[in-house]
Structure 1
């Protein structure tokens, strides 16, 4: 027994200054020795652990039993690889320790004691868990861009132990909050600061990850951000979009934290890298949407006047007729055909450019006079179709007649000469009990328009 105690004493002297946790126990796993690192890691006074079974140090009794069956038994074979085990501190918090150990037998006696070496790998394990969460967030099909950013901010705040997380956009000297995580929700999107008043100024100057775990004791203790906001800890990375700096992804706290690890630096870099890819992807998607919308607009627009073309007018008219038939509107559907008077003479006397100018002027007047729900389309050549849904005949006629009068009164000059402009207009209405088709409705408006021409032009006739 004296030899057993002597061996423990010698081991204790050799292992007392090692940073890793060292525990010695008897064959029943009652603690007989622990070094200073173990006292610090578990948070117990040394005397509170001596003689106690190591069960109290495990996060779960099941794990204690598993390790007893696997390695901490008198006949256990030696193991060369460590196992990550979750341990519990006196204050109820947990840490992960990579654990090596097993039985050690005195070759000159039957005394056996258990030896355990534990290396705190909490940050490594937490980083691995965080990377798994990062992958889950960034690959989720259920989250849109802003929701992903918000989840990443929460993830970073939890991993780094920093309560404030910000995804910023930097424009010139302005630092603009895009998304933020704040315990008191004090950082709204759009909130702007001077870049030089933020720690992100260092990120932009260095163009790399910057981290300060205790600003008051660092080289940036005189920074305006510390003076104005008293932020003691910060870690941030630049966000790069298509090769250009876009902003930053950063986390901070009013309290100092333990020094950041290489894994922390890599993690915030990865988050910022992903954010840059997502911004670029969102920009590409928006550009594609804009291009698609532009193509759709081109497909339904007359290139000369900017008004809708015949194909779109037909669709609008079909939809308006259907709405009237299903009682979705309260008033009749009015349709008018507008035709320029003596348009061939304008082209012959002044040139086709003058004729184009006359057609374009109609679109300018229509924008001023017609209602947002009205549609004016180029039907063909110098002929235009107006669709006025859910409108009383008298109101529709007033608007269309005003358009005719304004055209007559317009002073449109080409090459120093005023162009003679007037319109002959035929109008008809479709009542809810009228079963006329699109073609029949157009034919009625066309008949009314030719009646206007026969009566001297520059007038409105209804049928």
Structure 2
């Protein structure tokens, strides 16, 4: 949706007769905010114009929200002690809360203002930790950051009912549903309204991006941090008042980490302070106290649930990793003999050839074929043949070094790499293995089966570097020679 469309819609919505005019006191306070030259005495005079408002402000001044050690009995004293920034935002919040009265739409006004108040207090507390001098601004921002919802709900009640229906029936995020119906969300509408009221960019810009702080393109770190605090305050409210609190706690912690605030803002301390400040304020905003709410208890229970959930997920991930590891190993192992398979051998040979080139040592490549293996299958069945193959696999594993490689090449063929082994030594080792295998008996259904092997040997040398295919061909030709020499023997590749 274009920026021009959003601006036109915002102007239309914010100028409708259905929207109430700002109270005179609120207008005077806004003028006071815009004019930095106004005095503290003038603010006290403005507040004195509305006695009920003045009484509410004094009640808040003497509440745990400010934590004063002695009671304040008049507005000039309060302004002198706390400063005009604090009091004008408190006063403005009381003026605005009655501005939008409940109307015939599906918006829960009580929940809306409860959320706004909680976000205001939480934003103020976080700002004290991470934003120097911005705490009172953040109180007003927290209170007004969702005001676009009120504009949309009051100016277009039927369409906003459709928005609420989408959030309920389709489990859609509110601002996504607003975008579908209106072409913009409460963020843009709220930012426009604050600008119309004359509040500075430090208010409108954070409101316009508070659901997506990372999308805010600005070089002003204060705007960015204000937007992030609003986002965090929103998510903390969700943690306290909606389901899946354990997962929401994980999200809040992740956001604190992502925004670089995890060392400064301690969630337990934040919630403890927030609870003691919010609870006394609720009656002033015509909101009922909820005796069942215990922020620290919610936090503690969510921590336990998150731990249990994390532990369960960790075990599940571990089991999956173990399963993946098993599958990975199986992918490189022959299912019958548990030796390396053809693919694994190819990779091992590549590594050995690279090591030979780098370090200059000699290794032995040997092709092995079990003699008369078909006769075993024909005489005793394929199960007997499988037992022979498994036994030969164990034989090789038990009789070669861990640094050597043995693999089932296919059928009754095996292949070996004797690493860092000269030709004469390699021939002796393989000749000895031939003799040992010939003496071994394979037990199968009470029978003792004999097995022998023929071995073809070639040298892998840095002096005569050859392609892998050529080396395998040489070993295969040497194996062919061994078979023609009567089997159960070794043959070394020779060009002659």
Does residue 1:373 correspond to 2:391, yes or no?
Answer: no
Q: Is the 1:42–1:57 contact (alpha carbons within 8 Å) kept by the matching residues of 2?
A: no
Q: Is the 1:305–1:359 contact (alpha carbons within 8 Å) kept by the matching residues of 2?
A: yes
Distance 1:419 1:316 in 2: 32
Distance 1:447 1:264 in 2: 79
Matching residue within 39, 46, 63 for 2:70: 46
Match of 1:303 in 2: 335
Distance 1:67 1:36 in 2: 8
Does residue 1:62 correspond to 2:85, yes or no?
Answer: yes
Distance 1:66 1:139 in 2: 27
Which is bigger in relative contact order (C-alpha 8 A, separation at least 6)?
A: 2
Cα separation, partners in 2 of 1:53 and 1:442, compared to 1, 3 Å: same
Gaps of 5+ in 1: 1-24, 101-123, 144-150, 163-258
Specify the SS of the correspondent of 1:348.
helix
Match of 1:364 in 2: 394
Matching residue within 40, 45, 58 for 1:27: 45
The 5 A counterparts of 1:273-312 are 273-275=305-307, 277-279=309-311, 281-312=313-344
Instruction: Give 1:335 deviation, angstroms.
Output: 0.7
Gaps of 5+ in 2: 1-42, 49-53, 101-112, 130-134, 144-232, 241-247, 274-290
Deviations 1:333-385 (A, max 9, x none): 32101122232333334333222222111211222222333221112222111
Q: Is the 1:333–1:387 contact (alpha carbons within 8 Å) kept by the matching residues of 2?
A: yes
Deviations 1:259-279 (A, max 9, x none): 994333334444455555555
Deviations 1:231-270 (A, max 9, x none): xxxxxxxxxxxxxxxxxxxxxxxxxxxx994333334444
Q: Is the 1:324–1:332 contact (alpha carbons within 8 Å) kept by the matching residues of 2?
A: yes
Distance 1:300 1:369 in 2: 21
Q: CA RMSD in A?
A: 5.0
Cα separation, partners in 2 of 1:402 and 1:137, compared to 1, 3 Å: farther
Deviations 1:4-35 (A, max 9, x none): xxxxxxxxxxxxxxxxxxxxx96387999977
Q: Is the 2:272–2:295 contact (alpha carbons within 8 Å) kept by the matching residues of 1?
A: no
Cα separation, partners in 2 of 1:302 and 1:26, compared to 1, 3 Å: closer
Instruction: Give 1:407 deviation, angstroms.
Output: 1.9
Distance 1:337 1:46 in 2: 95
Specify the SS of the correspondent of 2:403.
coil
Cα separation, partners in 2 of 1:380 and 1:51, compared to 1, 3 Å: closer
The 5 A counterparts of 1:204-353 are 261-275=293-307, 277-279=309-311, 281-325=313-357, 327=358, 329-353=359-383
Q: Is the 1:338–1:385 contact (alpha carbons within 8 Å) kept by the matching residues of 2?
A: yes
Instruction: Give 1:437 deviation, angstroms.
Output: 2.0
Instruction: Give 1:429 deviation, angstroms.
Output: 1.3
**TM-score normalised to structure 1 length:** 0.50
Match of 2:443 in 1: 413
Instruction: Give 1:54 deviation, angstroms.
Output: 1.9
Cα separation, partners in 2 of 1:38 and 1:45, compared to 1, 3 Å: same
Match of 2:105 in 1: none
Q: Is the 1:365–1:406 contact (alpha carbons within 8 Å) kept by the matching residues of 2?
A: no
Distance 1:350 1:307 in 2: 24
Distance 1:78 1:286 in 2: 52
Specify the SS of the correspondent of 2:441.
coil
Distance 2:391 2:258 in 1: 49
Does residue 1:388 correspond to 2:418, yes or no?
Answer: yes
**TM-score normalised to structure 2 length:** 0.47
Distance 2:235 2:367 in 1: 73
Match of 2:465 in 1: 435
Instruction: Give 1:402 deviation, angstroms.
Output: 4.5
Q: Is the 2:397–2:406 contact (alpha carbons within 8 Å) kept by the matching residues of 1?
A: no
Match of 1:216 in 2: none
Deviations 1:40-66 (A, max 9, x none): 7655453787786324664x7534455
Match of 1:403 in 2: 433
* Segment of structure 1 superposing worse, 421-430 or 262-271: 262-271
Cα separation, partners in 2 of 1:349 and 1:454, compared to 1, 3 Å: same
Cα separation, partners in 2 of 1:396 and 1:29, compared to 1, 3 Å: farther
Cα separation, partners in 2 of 1:345 and 1:432, compared to 1, 3 Å: same
Q: Which has the higher helix share?
A: 2
